[in-house]
């Protein structure tokens, strides 16, 4: 199989192993947190793969043993409200591109999937976690206001009660608890995770592609009322005073 890195930049790499595409998030620094421009590149990469015609499944992995710690907060230091809002809009566009993608997208999670990294995983069709991995939304402490779309992804998988607990407290779930809660499908020892993901991807690509696409559309149709309801949201992304105080504390 050929493997061709994309030109999207060092923080996002796409390799084609037809009929499977692999997207690697980050370069191992900042726990693979992404700045706003890279979320847009992720959105466009997903859309291009969906339109290419030869890709039948996509896997998302993080670089160097962690998945994604969310957004690169250093670009928010001293930033105005418009810059922060733009960053969150870029993230959400990437998540929605995954959800709209007509082919299955699988998240292979090592290390931490937190904040926007958690949302990235939840937007995927399937999630497999290393035993040592953790997932959650520790965003309230930063002054980030949970959007309806953020909440809806978690509620759809884990239900409202656990979603409230995780959003209110910022607690991260370990892999076993995440699977029990419905936030992931399977957890395995670190060394076995890649092989398991490869088996599932192979099984997907062995099915008739039209039937797989129809299955994804059918599941998406059941979620459509909730997803559409979250599109119209006038809430700001952050409580600005709390957010600025947090940024000043984290990046003095």
Residue 5 lies in a domain: no
pLDDT, position 3: 40
pLDDT, position 5: 43
User: Does pLDDT of 233 surpass 80?
Assistant: no
Instruction: Give 232's pLDDT tier (boundaries 50, 70, 90).
Output: low
Computed over every residue of the chain, the mean pLDDT equals 93
Beta bridge partners of 136: 114, 172
Q: Kindly report, residue by residue over 159-194, the tens digit of the pLDDT.
A: 999 999 999 999 999 999 999 999 999 999 999 999
Instruction: Give 10's pLDDT tier (boundaries 50, 70, 90).
Output: confident
Query: What is the C-alpha to C-alpha distance for residues 158 and 247, in angstroms, rounded to an integer?
Result: 30
Q: Kindly report, residue by residue over 76-92, the tens digit of the pLDDT.
A: 999 899 999 999 999 99
User: Does pLDDT of 4 surpass 50?
Assistant: no
Instruction: State the average pLDDT over residues 121-140.
Output: 98
pLDDT, position 224: 84
Three-state helix/strand/coil letters over 58-96? EEEEECCCCCECCECHHHHCCCCHHHHHHHHHHHHHHHH
Contacts of residue 159, Cβ cutoff 8 Å, sequence gap at least 6: 182
pLDDT, position 208: 98
Instruction: Give 252's pLDDT tier (boundaries 50, 70, 90).
Output: confident
Range of the domain at 130: 12-192+204-250
Total number of domains in the chain: 1
Taking each helix axis from N to C end, the angle separating 148-158 and 116-123, rounded to the nearest 10 degrees, works out to 60
Percent of the chain with pLDDT over 70: 96
Instruction: State the average pLDDT over residues 28-43.
Output: 97
pLDDT, position 6: 43
Residue 148 lies in a domain: yes
Residue 197 lies in a domain: no
pLDDT, position 230: 74
Residue 199 lies in a domain: no
Residue 59 lies in a domain: yes
pLDDT, position 8: 41
User: Does pLDDT of 143 surpass 90?
Assistant: yes
Residue among 197, 203, 223, 40 at smallest CA distance from 106 = 197
Residue 198 lies in a domain: no
User: Does pLDDT of 1 surpass 50?
Assistant: no
User: Where would I find the H helices in 101-147?
Assistant: 116-123
Which of these ranges, 8-12, 149-153, 175-179, has the smallest mean pLDDT?
A: 8-12
Query: What is the C-alpha to C-alpha distance for residues 22 and 27, in angstroms, rounded to an integer?
Result: 15
Residue 227's H or E segment, with its range, is helix 209-229
Contacts of residue 163, Cβ cutoff 8 Å, sequence gap at least 6: 151, 154, 155
CATH of the domain at 151: 3.90.226.10
Residue 170 lies in a domain: yes
Residue 20 lies in a domain: yes
């Amino acid at each position: 199989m050929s493997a061709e890195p994309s030109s999207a930049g060092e923080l996002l790499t796409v390799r084609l192993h037809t009929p499977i595409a692999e997207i690697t998030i980050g370069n191992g620094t900042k726990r693979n947190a992404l700045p706003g421009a890279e979320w847009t590149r992720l959105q466009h990469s997903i859309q291009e793969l969906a339109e290419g015609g030869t890709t039948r499944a996509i896997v998302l992995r993080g670089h160097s043993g962690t998945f994604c710690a969310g957004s690169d907060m250093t670009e928010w230091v001293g930033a105005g409200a418009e810059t922060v809002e733009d960053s969150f809009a870029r993230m959400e566009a990437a998540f929605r591109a995954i959800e709209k993608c007509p082919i299955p997208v699988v998240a292979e999670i090592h290390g931490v999937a937190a904040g926007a990294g958690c949302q990235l995983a939840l937007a995927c069709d399937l999630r497999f976690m290393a035993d040592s991995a953790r997932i959650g939304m520790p965003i309230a402490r930063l002054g980030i206001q949970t959007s309806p779309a953020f909440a809806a992804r978690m509620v759809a998988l884990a239900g409202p009660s656990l979603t409230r607990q995780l959003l209110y407290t910022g607690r991260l779930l370990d892999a076993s608890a995440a699977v029990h809660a419905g936030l992931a499908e399977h957890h395995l020892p670190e060394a076995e995770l890649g092989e398991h993901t490869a088996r599932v991807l192979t099984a997907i690509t062995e099915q008739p592609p039209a039937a797989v696409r129809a299955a994804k559309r059918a599941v998406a149709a059941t979620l459509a009322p909730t997803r559409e309801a979250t599109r119209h949201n006038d809430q700001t992304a952050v409580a600005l005073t709390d957010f600025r105080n947090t940024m000043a504390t984290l990046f003095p």
